Structure 1
Amino acid sequence: MLRTNVVRRTLGAAAVLAMTVGCTAQAVTDNSPAADAKPGSTGSPAAAGTASPAADTTQSPSPSAPATPTAEPSESGEPTESAPPPEVLMERGSTGERVRELQARLAQIGWFDDTPTGTYGPVTAASVKGFQGRRGLPTTGDTDTVTWQKLLAMTTKPTREELTGKAVNKPAEKLDARCKTGRVICISKTTRTLSWVIDGKVQSTMDVRFGSQYTPTREGTFSVGWKSKDHVSSIYDTPMPYAMFFSGGQAVHYSSDFAARGYNGASHGCVNVRDKGKIANLFNQVSTGDKVVIYW
């Protein structure tokens, strides 16, 4: 019994340490949206999939079920045809101005982080797949009519500057109700933006990225527990400048990796900011105890 208690205390201490000493960047995961790969890059792993095992066609169908699927009966008892799948408008290998528009529209809501090329590459497919997954659509990576209409409803017609990658005009962020009173670091996972809000008025906005599916950034309402301008992670021995800790070891901080690689990487749970000037200014304005809201 004594040995068991010692082990439990040891594990408990390790868990607390892991929560409080910080996080750093890691490679992008299958579920992390990313920009199209640069020339010579292999692209995002999200685009690569493995085939499912083939069905065993040697077995006979169960006597209780027909071998061939039939149309389901309607409420009147008459069989009805199932709805056809949506038409695919763009897919891997597609090229043209419509693909460029797709990329520019995805950039508006934070799902594409590179210059629109007009080529539907593997990471454009991964970006579409991420967009689909967050909205409950089949994650095919192909842009079908349903996906396209959903994207059109959430974005605006790209300008010439957006289509050439010279600007990204993100739609105005709809603040969560929790962000409309007091001093709040308001963070949207949908648009991947951080807004500094005072009494419902947005003071500044900046791009952010989050943890991977294995080390996700927590969601909810928190408060800034402490600040560390020149913080260095004791787990990964990497800099975390302008760190503002809000939940254990998770903090909002500047990331040189995010500045260099964009969404091709991810954090270990922290909220990364890539604009050093903006995060430095935010660090000077935020006080311990200010609210932090992270939401979809």
Structure 2
Amino acid sequence: MAATGGSGRSTVSDLLAERMAAADATTVVLDTAPRLSSPWPSWTAGQQSGGLAALPPDRPLTRSQVRHAAAARPGTGRPGWHVLTDGRDWHSPPLALPHAPAAWLQLAAIGGWQCVVADTPHPVSHDLIESRCAGQTGQTRSWYELPYAVPVLCASATAGGVQALQQAVMALHADGIPLQRTVVVLVAQSDGRVPAVARAGAAMLSARTAAVVHLPYDPHIRAHGLRTVARLRSRTRQAARLLSEEVLAAAGASWGTPLPDAPRPAPLAVVSHS
């Protein structure tokens, strides 16, 4: 999650998925953003998977259907992970993606993955204020309420990014959202020392959230995105490993270790037609 666009959500999602897959957890990234605002179609280009367009929302699905629709992300000497995205050509009609986080949970449950990383496009602060004024349950709270959800709140390590992050945290706190199982990631926009404003923001947030992780600048990501992960810096991988450890620690502190089995949506009854 993030308060604004350009906060490194997709990069963080991919790095976290890689680390969770390396821990022997079957992992999927759910790309919940519209196709032309998402980097995932280009990161998974060239694959023959059907993507989200191959999963009709009005019919029962099987595990093999969902798995075959997912694109694969190869690990570097480790097990890979999957991505469910809309990988069609740019001129294809937009898909009507589900808004309810529970629908995405159901899709991942059908696929049978142990770990789900959801890349969410909605701005957290705006969603919280809008839903409060409308007297409704917003996207942010709905994601938080899913079984064993550990939200990862991303922000660029700049003055504007930290300010937006602090506003998001204040909005989360005002709505009674459990910050104690929220992990914050500050994404560096340049090489060198972490800016003073980011260090100050991390110090303030470390007491309110489960953890604050700094993701260093990586020129390979800036130049090529995450089409490949083989050339990432070692410190980028170290930060990703720390992030996965903090996410698991937050889950363990909230629900115990090992985690209990997650509830699974009940399958639809088979209807025979005569």
Which interval holds the TM-score relative to the shorter structure? under 0.3
TM-score by length of 2: 0.25
TM-score by length of 1: 0.24
Higher radius of gyration, 1 or 2: 1
More strand by percentage: 1
More helix by percentage: 2
